[in-house]
Amino acid sequence: MRPELFKLGPLTVHSYGFFLALAFVVGMLVSFWYLRRRFVDAYVVFELVLAAAVGGIVGARIFYVIGHWSEFSGRWWEALKFWNVEGLVFYGGFIFGVLAAAAVVKLRGLSLGEVLDSGGLAVPAAMAVARVGCYLNGCCFGKSSNLPWAVTFPAKTQWNMGMPANPVHPTQIYELLMDLAIFVLLLSVYKRFRYRGELMACYVLLYAVARFINEFFRYHTNPHSNLFFQVLSAVAFLLAGSLIVFRRRLLPEAR
């Protein structure tokens, strides 16, 4: 664990912020690569990433507050700290990030489906990088575990983060591996998708499965949060699956 990655004079570079920034760069490069292959003006990616970053952080904070409402009892103003990157939830960031990017797509007159598909590859790659920051920071940790690969964070950190005092599941690593697996799988089959937007829908479907599984091992201060995120994952799975079936069964063959 290394919350402070390194120092440059008086400036301290924190591992979570560093890897979150690196994740956006990786996502931008993957998206740029995909759009260039689809003969789309790929330079719009810079605008899309900026919009998605702002919308994503705001949305991720909102969903965190909803899932951990008891933490803000008596100090509701803490919920408004959108810059607190230790209290973020992927689903909120994904939804608001997509909405912000969609606004840019509309203004630019681009194909929403093509841009979403670029995100279907970019998001899992970026998420895998971001989870390295989670692990080094000690957030997004798991429940108590006696498995051989269980990890123990420094006692002070475990106390401050609200972790159990004993070894815990490295849920950050679990999700990192699942994100990488999703990225590799979609990268190997992306040419087979017939309709615009289908690649992104497939990503949402796969991530919903990964998040549903990981919530069995994830620790939350609110004991109901695991069920909340599993229900959210089930809804995402059904919506994404329905969209794929709808596109393939009910729409014309032409993309």
**What is the mean pLDDT of the segment spanning 228-243?**
92
CA distance 95 to 204: 11
Two tokens at 43? Answer: 């330079």
CA dihedral 34, 186, 197, 244 (to 10 degrees): 170
Confidence of residue 39 (pLDDT cuts 50, 70, 90): confident
Say how many C-beta atoms besides its own lie within 10 A of residue 146's C-beta: 7
Tokens of 50: 């900026």
Q: Can you read off the two tokens belonging to residue 17?
A: 């912020």
* Band (255; pLDDT cuts 50, 70, 90): very low
Cα 185 to Cα 49: distance, rounded to the nearest angstrom: 23
Tell whether the model's pLDDT for residue 254 goes beyond 50: no
